[in-house]
Structure 1
Amino acid sequence: MTTMTEASVREFKMPDVGEGLTEAEILKWYVQPGDTVTDGQVVCEVETAKAAVELPIPYDGVVRELRFPEGTTVDVGTAIIAVDVSGGAPAGAPAEQPVAEQPKAAPKEPEAKPQGRTPVLVGYGVAASSTKRRPRKSSGATVPAAAQAIQTELNGHGAPAVQDRPRPLAKPPVRKLAKDLGVDLATITPSGPDGVITREDVHAAAAPQAATTAVPAVVEAPAPALATAPAPVASYDGTRETRVPVKGVRKATAQAMIGSAFTAPHVTEFVTVDVTRTMKLVEELKQDKEFQGLRVNPLLLIAKALLVAIKRNPDINASWDEASQEIVLKHYVNLGIAAATPRGLIVPNIKDAQAKTLPQLAESLGELVSTAREGRTSPAAMQGGTVTITNVGVFGVDTGTPILNPGESAILAVGAIKLQPWVHKGKVKPRQVTTLALSFDHRLVDGELGSKVLADVAAILEQPKRLISWA
């Protein structure tokens, strides 16, 4: 009997979700011991050195054991969850159960636990928060009595348990957005094709909640808080410092920046440019029906200007192969966009950006930014970049000296666009002005080539009509 039980338990191992990654950190479990899982169901979220990724389970069964708690870094190839795929009840379940209360693969109260279970996981049980994420097939099976009692008490009116409802259709980024905004996907009427819930549906559902909580949030802030709050005092019990382990995206970024800074000889050039006409063109494009529903902003035209400059000066789009002692010229542009996220700086890129029209580029930029903000950028989206743009202007910064993304030859920093006095047509007038900074690898890009590229970008932004004549 024991042999049969062990044979029916399958172990799901930590996969390599990127190319050559050796480890990943478990950020969150979406299931607990005793939960029923189905093929393709997301069971946990992990963070690699490149991105956060949700992992689906490849088979049906009942969760027997979570091998590691949240926050643990696990080597690729290590078993992280054990699932009973026999189709029977979890080990330790009572021998006689009414059919209506104990269906074939139903979860149970985790009172009798297999030996060897990680101690920190004991007592997790069937959490109400996790059951909202768990997909259920419409098999007609009922919820165990204990779980039904919990759900009934939470609902307060004997409503059907969450597990009885079909799982709403939504992509992982949309699910993450709903979770962050506190929106129950089951309450949303989908507007997407085939009944798929979209980001707009989630935002629309979150708007009434925000409206109802906005006023109390202000009222609840007590006026005398400043008077009663204790002033910071010296503490010698170790609470004056917080140590944060360097791992995941932050660790990978640190290693990459050190390697880039001390391998490629950096040169940075600057130019201040009048972008008044570019800003006017941005406003015009926002009203253009061809750009309806797309993200149109100055970064879009700056990205297009850089692509045109690269087309006119293709040698800037290259990399240095130290092992072969060769300069590798790229005949495509995978345009990287540096994005600040809660987990650190990432640089996803738009593949073959040089072949995209302006509306297509706008669509790709919108998807890239939204995915990065939601923490769903895939490792593949951050590989193979050739040239990068970093927009420090969104933080009110005039400019900077950016460090090259490893393996690339150039990176363009865009400063804040500000209204400044500027000599225009012989008169001092208020104009929209910004400062651009181009860093490049001086091993393969000399001052002349770098200057030409930067000058071309500036000329296009001063006279954006050149996008048509130079493209």
Structure 2
Amino acid sequence: MMSDFLLPDLGEGLTEATIVAWHVKVGDEVTRNQALAEVETAKALVELPSPRAGRITALHAEEGQTLDVGSPLVGFAEVGAAPDPGAGGNAADGSVAEEPAAVLVGVGVSVDGSDEAVGAAEPAARPQRQQVLVGYGPVLPGTGRPRRRPRSFATTPYVRPTGATGERPTPRAMPPVRRRARDLGVDLRSVHGSGPGGRILRADVEACAQGLSGAAPREGASAGSHTIPVTGLRKQTAQAMSASAFTAPHASVHVTIDVTDTLELLGRDTRDRARTSFLASVCRAILPAAARTPAANARYDAEAGQIEMFDQVRLGVAVATDRGLLVATLPEIDADGHQGPSGPALTAAIAETAQKARDGALTPAEVTGSTLTVTNVGVFGVDGGTPILNPGQSTILAIGALRRQPWEHRGEIALRTVVTLTLSFDHRVLDGAEASAFLMDIAETLADPATLLVR
């Protein structure tokens, strides 16, 4: 029996995914839960496991191609069934073959050979089925934890099953290199690989994009230019920022402060020699400030015509990745700061979350749910900027670069370290006085940490 496996609903409102790398080819026999492909959504990179055992009869997309949820992904045949070159997922009578159970991020699929959806009624005699997450294997005995399925990248070229003679195979390149080529609009088949065995390296792609390899511009691009497909995270970010910029009336306030004393405090040795970063200090200063200006931790519900006030501050940190910009949600922190993590613990959490974001390893839940965002543009060497609100939030704070410069200090000019903070806010939720009070609350704490002892 022939059937098609459709691209499943990956959750969190995502409607499409891009094929990053195939782990199978036409003719392969696969087992249930074997990784079929690595796909990129607007939220993360995930591996799609096979919903059943069988033989692959068709791959309905090429690497780099974006598919809508519900589109045919791969064709299956029962092991031992005769190949049908004309099969496209329809039964002999023209009706669509039975669709396998959808695989959801965070939703299990059975591993006992049954094709029934999880949650269906089962006879009492049947053994309990394990729940397997996308990108994970079955639960390890005695641990209660799923085994992370290691990413396995093909070491030989993958030839598209078109049946055409003389067609060039897709070149050998690791998924990060393929993503870079897609971002730069480079056709990998026009790139000469300088790596071992002809493997295409990131430098080869970038050289081709700059015209150093003599590659012709892509169809539809003018001479001396190239096009960049907008997919995955970049597409999601573009849509979200456009919606935010043209929906919420943005306004901003700025302040430049002397943070020399705070940096000296952070640089002192501690018993465990653990350090607190300046970014973590800013995050900690936000918590009591948001408690005193609740509108800074809210959102405007246009449909209901009301303002939703969040009970807890869920901080999101903007992270620049190769896939684009995303806001990663930090672990929950109590709004008044009393039950939040220590400075060193928060520093470690920020670093770990940012690295997971750059690796594409965040789950959909880890890139949603924040109520207030912090973006550190100072790491790029700029003094400040006016950020666009993250949709569903009323404030976003931008931190500029730390600069040593002459500054008035105790009635004299001294060399001090200063920083510019910029707060963008939704003028439907906060007015200028509230936004200024919130920003100055944060600024006073960072300029003089001792203020936390007397408030």
TM-score, with length taken from structure 1: 0.64
Structure 1 residues 50 and 310: CA distance shift in structure 2, 3 A: same
SS in 1 for 2:13: coil
Matching residue within 364, 371, 393 for 1:379: 364
Matching residue within 408, 425, 428 for 1:443: 428
Kindly indicate whether residue 236 of structure 2 is the aligned counterpart of residue 265 of structure 1. Answer: no
Q: Deviations over 1:4-46 (max 9, x none)?
A: xx1xx55332122132222212122122223343443332122
Matching residue within 9, 14, 18 for 1:16: 9
Structure 1 residues 282 and 173: CA distance shift in structure 2, 3 A: farther
Structure 1 residues 81 and 258: CA distance shift in structure 2, 3 A: same
- Counterpart CA distance in 2 for 1:175 and 1:437 is 44
Kindly indicate whether residue 305 of structure 2 is the aligned counterpart of residue 325 of structure 1. Answer: yes
Kindly indicate whether residue 446 of structure 2 is the aligned counterpart of residue 461 of structure 1. Answer: yes
The structure with the largest helix share of the pair is 1
Cα offset, 1:303, TM superposition: 1.0
Specify the code of the residue in structure 2 equivalent to 1:303.
C
Structure 1 residues 276 and 75: CA distance shift in structure 2, 3 A: same
- Counterpart CA distance in 2 for 1:311 and 1:455 is 14
Give the structure with higher Rg (CA).
Answer: 1
Equivalent in the alignment of 1:242: 226
Name the stretch that deviates more: 14-23 or 387-396. Answer: 14-23
Kindly indicate whether residue 282 of structure 2 is the aligned counterpart of residue 289 of structure 1. Answer: no
Matching residue within 386, 390, 397 for 1:405: 390
Cα offset, 1:468, TM superposition: 5.5
Equivalent in the alignment of 1:202: none
- Counterpart CA distance in 1 for 2:390 and 2:370 is 8
Q: Deviations over 1:340-387 (max 9, x none)?
A: 111111112125333522244334312210111112223222222211
- Counterpart CA distance in 2 for 1:345 and 1:46 is 18
CA contact (8 A) 2:21 2:175 kept: no
Equivalent in the alignment of 1:278: 262
Equivalent in the alignment of 1:114: 85
- Counterpart CA distance in 2 for 1:82 and 1:468 is 65
C-alpha RMSD of the superposition: 3.5
Structure 1 residues 468 and 117: CA distance shift in structure 2, 3 A: farther
Equivalent in the alignment of 1:426: 411
Q: Deviations over 1:202-222 (max 9, x none)?
A: xxxxxxxxxxxxxxxxxxxxx
Structure 1 residues 67 and 469: CA distance shift in structure 2, 3 A: farther
CA contact (8 A) 2:75 2:88 kept: no
Cα offset, 1:58, TM superposition: 3.4
Cα offset, 1:84, TM superposition: 4.2
CA contact (8 A) 2:20 2:175 kept: no
Cα offset, 1:406, TM superposition: 0.9
**In the TM superposition, what are the counterparts of 1:152-231 in structure 2 within 5 Å?**
171=148
SS in 1 for 2:268: helix
Kindly indicate whether residue 325 of structure 2 is the aligned counterpart of residue 345 of structure 1. Answer: yes
- Counterpart CA distance in 2 for 1:283 and 1:59 is 56
SS in 2 for 1:450: helix
Structure 1 residues 181 and 317: CA distance shift in structure 2, 3 A: closer
Structure 1 residues 288 and 299: CA distance shift in structure 2, 3 A: farther
- Counterpart CA distance in 2 for 1:377 and 1:404 is 21
Structure 1 residues 173 and 378: CA distance shift in structure 2, 3 A: farther
Q: Deviations over 1:232-269 (max 9, x none)?
A: xxxx9943111222222222222221221121111111
Structure 1 residues 74 and 174: CA distance shift in structure 2, 3 A: closer
- Counterpart CA distance in 2 for 1:174 and 1:114 is 30
Kindly indicate whether residue 350 of structure 2 is the aligned counterpart of residue 370 of structure 1. Answer: no
CA contact (8 A) 1:59 1:85 kept: no
Cα offset, 1:320, TM superposition: 0.6
TM-score, with length taken from structure 2: 0.66
Structure 1 residues 321 and 465: CA distance shift in structure 2, 3 A: same
Equivalent in the alignment of 2:294: 314
Structure 1 residues 71 and 180: CA distance shift in structure 2, 3 A: closer
- Counterpart CA distance in 2 for 1:332 and 1:260 is 22
CA contact (8 A) 1:333 1:351 kept: no
The gaps in structure 1 that reach 5 residues or longer are: 1-5, 93-112, 119-168, 183-228, 231-235
Structure 1 residues 170 and 263: CA distance shift in structure 2, 3 A: same
The gaps in structure 2 that reach 5 residues or longer are: 90-145, 154-173, 178-211, 214-219
CA contact (8 A) 1:26 1:69 kept: yes
- Counterpart CA distance in 2 for 1:300 and 1:255 is 29
Structure 1 residues 271 and 32: CA distance shift in structure 2, 3 A: same
Structure 1 residues 28 and 426: CA distance shift in structure 2, 3 A: same
- Counterpart CA distance in 2 for 1:452 and 1:388 is 17
Matching residue within 17, 33, 53 for 2:46: 53
Kindly indicate whether residue 59 of structure 2 is the aligned counterpart of residue 71 of structure 1. Answer: no
Q: Deviations over 1:100-123 (max 9, x none)?
A: xxxxxxxxxxxxx833579xxxxx
